[in-house]
């Protein structure tokens, strides 16, 4: 469905269980950043090219590292995933990020393929703020990113 105005970036859901964790809420995420892919190019010149130029040939592609942030709510799901990965480096998951419209209908979904956490950061604690939310974040490395219908 097309529309005249872009979708808001504030209405999204994240399932980082990949079918291995309960589908219940895992905490509200305030930010998802780094979602993307990059294709590296090789430079090549054929010996019989008339022009003295290089050709750019697609080579490897990679997914960007994605950072998820959420307010701490007593859930240990990020930490549990980090801990499992530390003990079993071959443990991978699929992570699904879905943008929704104003009626909470799915608009676009991105799947992080063979994802694993690479960094967990706990909250910054400061007594002077008083009104700041304690935030935690996890940075996820994935072998690929796909758009899912």
Q: Which two tokens stand for residue 83?
A: 């801990």
* Coil vs helix vs strand at 80: helix
Please identify every stretch of the chain with a pLDDT value under 50, giving residue numbers as ranges: 18-24
Domain extent listing, the chain: 12-148
User: Can you give the pLDDT at residue 15?
Assistant: 87
Nearest-angstrom CA–CA distance, 38 and 64 = 7
CA distances from 9 to 72, 98, 108, 114, 121 (A): 21, 11, 11, 25, 23
Query: At the topology level of CATH, where does 12-148 sit?
Result: Pnp Oxidase; Chain A (2.30.110)
Per-residue model confidence (pLDDT) at position 88: 94
Q: Are 19 and 94 in contact (CB under 8 A)?
A: yes
- Residues 7-16: pLDDT tens digits? 999 999 998 7
Nearest to 12 by CA among 95, 77, 74: 95
């Amino acid at each position: 469905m097309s529309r005249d105005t872009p979708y808001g970036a504030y209405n999204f859901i994240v399932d980082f269980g990949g079918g291995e964790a309960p589908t219940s809420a895992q905490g509200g995420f305030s930010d998802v950043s780094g979602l993307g892919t990059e294709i590296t190019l090789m430079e090549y010149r054929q010996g019989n090219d008339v022009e003295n130029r290089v050709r750019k040939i697609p080579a490897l592609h990679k997914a960007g590292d994605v950072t998820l942030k959420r307010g701490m709510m007593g859930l240990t799901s990020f930490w549990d995933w980090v801990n499992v990965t530390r003990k079993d480096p071959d443990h991978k998951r699929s992570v699904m990020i879905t943008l929704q419209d104003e009626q909470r209908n799915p608009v676009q979904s991105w799947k992080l393929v063979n994802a694993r956490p690479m960094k967990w950061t706990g909250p910054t604690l400061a007594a002077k703020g008083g009104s700041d939310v304690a935030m935690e974040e996890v940075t996820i490395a994935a072998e690929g990113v796909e758009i899912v219908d």
